[in-house]
Chain A
Amino acid sequence: MPIEMIPGSNIIASGMTAERCRMEVVANNLANTNSSGKPGEAYKRRIPVFQSVVNDSLSSNPASELGGVKVTSVAKDDTPGVRVYSPYNPNADGDGMIEMPNVSPISEMMDLITATRAYEANLTAMKQAYDGAMKTVNLGKG
C-alpha cells in the first residue's frame, strides 16, 4: 500500500462510485419508463440503497475508521403502477388492462440532478484535498 498523500482519497472515491451507481439506476429507470407488462409484472422502479462503511482501525487517527460509503443493494419500489386499458397489447389481461411502470420521469430527473450535484461535491472535495497536499509538498518553494 503506497503512502496516502491525499487525505480522504479512498472515501471520496467511494462517494463518487456510489453516485455513479445512482446515476446508472436513474438511467435504467428512465429507460424503462414505458416497459409495461401484465398487471403485477411491469417494470418496478429501482432505488439504490447506500450504507456508510466503518473500518476496523488500529491507527491512532480516530478518522481512520471512516471508510466512506457503499451501495449495499438496488431495491425495488413496489408501488403499483397505473393500469391502462390496452386490449391489443400482447400483455393485456382478460379485462384488456396492462400495468405501466411506476416510474415518474419528473422525480427521476430530480434524482439525476441530485446525483450529479453530489458527484460534483465529491469532485470538489477531491480537488481541495489534492490542492492542499500539493501546497504542503511545495511549502519550501515559497
Chain B
Amino acid sequence: MIDPISSESLLAQLEQMRGRASEIAADSSAGGLSKGEGADFKNVFSSLITEVDQAQKQADNSMKSLASGDKDVTIQEVVMKMEQADVSFSLMLEIRNKLVAAYKELLSAQ
C-alpha cells in the first residue's frame, strides 16, 4: 500500500533531505573539495577552455609548419594533434551541452 501524499509528509521529507544535504556538504568541505578558488566551477571550466584552445592552436601551428615544409614536423604528429584537439573540443562541447540542458531543466521546473 502506497502512503497517501500529504503536504505535511512532503515537507517533513524535504526537511530530512535538507539535513542530510548539509551533513554531506560539511563532510565534503572537511575531506576533499574546499570552497576556495580551486573548487570554483567557473575556474575549472575556463581552464578547460584554455586548454582546449591551446590544443587547437598547437594543431594549427604544426599544420602550418608541415605545410611550409618544416622537416622536423611529421604528418603523423600533426594528425595526432588535430585528433587531440578534436576530442578535447568534443569534451568541452559535451560539458557545455550538459550545463545548458541542466539549466533548461531547472527553468522548466517552475
B98 an interface residue at 8 Å Cβ cutoff?
yes
Report whether over half of chain A's contact residues are helix, strand or loop; otherwise say mixed.
Answer: helix
How many chain A residues touch B (CB < 8 A): the figure is 20
Q: Across the interface, do A3 and B80 meet the contact criterion of CB distance under 8 Å?
A: no
A residues 1-32 in Cβ contact with B at 8 Å: 2-6, 9-10, 12-13, 16-17, 20
Partner of B80, one of A9, A134, A138: A9
Q: Across the interface, do A134 and B90 meet the contact criterion of CB distance under 8 Å?
A: yes
Q: Across the interface, do B87 and A5 meet the contact criterion of CB distance under 8 Å?
A: yes
A130 cross-chain contacts in B, Cβ below 8 A? 83, 87
Partner of B90, one of A3, A20, A138: A138
A121 to B33 CA separation, bound complex (whole angstroms): 43
A53 to B97 CA separation, bound complex (whole angstroms): 40
Residues of A within 8 A of B (CB): 2-6, 9-10, 12-13, 16-17, 20, 126, 130, 133-134, 137-138, 140-141
